[in-house]
Amino acid sequence: MTGPKHSCGVVGIKADFDIASAMHTALMIIQHRGQESAGITAYNDGSMETVKGNGLVETAIPKEDLVKLRGKVGVGHVRYSAAGQKDVVNTQPLVATSSFGSVAVAHNGDITNSEQLKQKYMKEDGWTFHTKSDSELINKILSKHLSSVGDPVKAIRATMSELDGAYALTILINDRLFGVRDPYAFRPLCIGKIDGGIIVVSESAAIDALRGEFVRDLEPGEICEITKDTYKSDIVKPEHPRAMCMFEWVYFARPDSVIDDRGVYEVRKRIGEVLARECPADADLVMPIPDSGRAHAIGYAIQMGLPYEEGFMKNRFAGRTFILPEQSQREFAVSTKMIPIGRTVKDKRIVIVDDSIVRGTTLKKLVAMLRKAGAKEVHVRVGSPPIIAPCYYGVDMTTRDQFIANHYSVEEIREILGADSIGYISLDGMVEAFGFKKEDLCLACTNAIYPTRIEGEECRRD
Ligand code: SF4
């Protein structure tokens, strides 16, 4: 992947032990979902305490603060911030106090009607907002409903009825922990049992890391209360299909996670197989753009009957280029991040497989590096259709302008990249690899048809 960034990852744990260390481990495992800030809020002895800051989990939550954090229930968050939201005040979890007590919210996704809701509440109730984060809005609306209806599940349900868009939430209401998934199930959220407690988290890999047992994904529209031994669900079945973000499987999620019953690694491998069927290449070897194109490349190589090679050595101490906020930062990072293995690529006809192309700047550099290292031919294969439309659901692809596919034809993109050939998987081919019904996926960034109503965009429900 050579373009935008994800929004966030969330976690909540309730256990019969102090959860700080387990929360920290879970956040480290979902670190790829956001590398700019992290935080944990724990409830202990009648009050909430939060440790959070900018940077990777290890920096944002220093060990000396972690060991002092007490509490057997808590929520946590890792975050990528869009432009203008980098202040520590926007980091999560966000805590509010109301007549009902304390409420902490950690959010993954984007609320598409947040501006309208903010305007409404500022005008009607005189609310003020201190952050640019949707979590503050969610927290305020939830606190309002808690004060009026009292019951947390009813208050969360009332809050959901006001929100449009994507949200996977972990919520702490005093000592009660909830996991919430929006009615379209845009973002992943699952439950697992760990020794002495229960976890709700963005990706199942965190459950594995805590040597726990995966239980299940949350259903669309589900509110799940987590206790230390079990969980209790409130599900209002939506009247529309799901809209699970296809990018979770294509790029964002860890390959060792399982989302909505589909292993991320397996889906990526199947994408590679379909891609090979649709866009074969006459070549000597197949190699990935590490790391996110790896499983796609394995599938491609197997289907083609070609050797799979690691042709780039990656500097593991560099961050994901997609997640770095500025283009200049991304460009500099690429040249120090990946070095071709000269003896593997020299005089070879190479297929390089990437998961997607957003801007194409990184890929162009990598193709040039392969040529410089002596590759005879470079054939680019891509595991998602051209990205052409913005995302309103929590991925930082906000303008049509940034997509190379909106400016150039496929043949022109090949030329710009300096490749001998280029092939994208088809939309139907990608959907086949997922094994879901097409209408249960959000594919909007590839077909500009949105699952929910967005002003100025085509909605598939119209
Ligand atoms: S528009 Fe694209 S990135 Fe955004 S939720 Fe839909 S599939 Fe995912």
Residue-wise pLDDT for 376-419, tens only, equals 999 999 999 999 999 999 998 888 999 999 999 999 999 999 99
For residue 16, the tally of other CB atoms under 10 A from its CB is: 11
pLDDT, average across residues 189-197: 97
Dist. CA 309–CA 329, nearest whole Å: 28
How much is the pTM? 0.93
CA distances from 237 to 42, 185, 221, 233, 460 (A): 31, 12, 7, 12, 19
* Burial (CB count within 10 angstroms: exposed 0-12, middle 13-18, buried 19+), residue 214: middle
Residue 346 confidence (pLDDT) above 60 = yes
By most ligand atoms within 8 Å of CB, the mutation choice from 33, 182, 245 for ligand 1 is: 245
Place of tokens 């911030």: 81
Which domains are delineated in the chain?
A: 8-239 (3.60.20.10), 264-459 (3.40.50.2020)
Pocket test for ligand 1, best of 164, 246, 355 (most atoms within 8 A of CB): 246
d(CA 396, CA 5): 5
List, for residues 123-157, the tens digit of each pLDDT value: 999 999 998 889 999 999 999 999 999 899 999 99
CA of 390 to the centre of ligand 1 (A): 8
Which of 228-242, 307-321, 325-339 is least confident? 325-339
The token duo for 453 is 């109503």
CA 3 to centroid of ligand 1, rounded, Å: 14
In 3D space, the residue among 25, 18, 14 whose CA is nearest the CA of residue 61 turns out to be 25
Catalytic, 8? Answer: yes
pLDDT of residue 243: 98
391: Cβ below 6 Å to ligand 1?
Answer: yes
Q: Is the CB of 1 under 6 A from ligand 1?
A: no
Average pLDDT over residues 47-74: 95
φ, ψ of residue 124 in degrees (nearest 5):
-80, -35
**pLDDT interval class at 83 (50, 70, 90):** very low
Specify whether the CB–CB gap between 198 and 191 falls below 8 A. Answer: yes
To 10 degrees, what angle do helices 264-278 and 427-434 make?
Answer: 140
Place of tokens 């959220």: 189
- Ligand 1 center to residue 32 CA distance, Å? 17
Residue 245 Cβ inside 6 Å of ligand 1? The answer reads yes
What atom of ligand 1 comes closest to residue 387's alpha carbon?
2
Provide the β-strand partners of residue 193: 198, 213
Taking CA atoms only, the protein residue closest to ligand 1 atom 5 is 245
Q: Strand pairing partners for 198?
A: 14, 193
> pLDDT tens digits for 367-382?
999 999 999 999 999 9
pLDDT: which is higher, 333 or 214: 214
- Give the distance (Å) from ligand 1 centre to CA of residue 392: 7
The DSSP element (H or E) to which 419 belongs, if any, is none
Q: How remote is the CA of residue 444 from the centroid of ligand 1, in Å?
A: 6
For a pocket test of ligand 1, which of 247, 322, 400, 438 has the largest count of ligand atoms closer than 8 A to its C-beta? 247
Q: What is the dihedral of CA 298, 302, 307, 311, to 10 degrees?
A: -10
pLDDT at 89 over 50: yes
Residue 186 Cβ inside 6 Å of ligand 1? The answer reads: yes
- CA-wise closest residue to 241 among 202, 300, 183: 183
Q: CA-CA distance, 274 to 385, in Å (whole number)?
A: 12
Cis peptide, bond prior to residue 93, ω within 30 of zero: yes
Q: What is the pLDDT of residues 278-313, one digit of tens each?
A: 999 999 999 999 888 999 999 999 999 999 999 999
Percent of the chain with pLDDT over 90: 83
pLDDT reported for residue 80 = 84
Contact yes or no for 167/92 (Cβ under 8 A):
no
From 248, 391, 452, the mutation candidate for ligand 1 (largest count of ligand atoms within 8 A of CB) is 391
Q: Is 246 in the pocket of ligand 1 (CB under 6 A)?
A: yes
Query: Is the pLDDT at 321 greater than 80, yes or no?
Result: no
244: Cα within 13 Å, side-chain hemisphere = 23
DSSP 359-373: S-HHHHHHHHHHHHT
- What's the rounded Cα separation, in Å, for the pair 321 and 333? 7
Nearest CA residue ID for atom 8, ligand 1: 245
Q: Is 430 in the pocket of ligand 1 (CB under 6 A)?
A: no
Q: What is the CA(205)–ligand 1 centre distance, in A? A: 22
Cα gap 426→279, rounded to integer Å: 10
Atom of ligand 1 nearest to the CA of 389: 1
| 171 close to 181: Cβ distance less than 8 angstroms | no
Ligand 1 neighbour 369 (Cβ under 6 A):
no
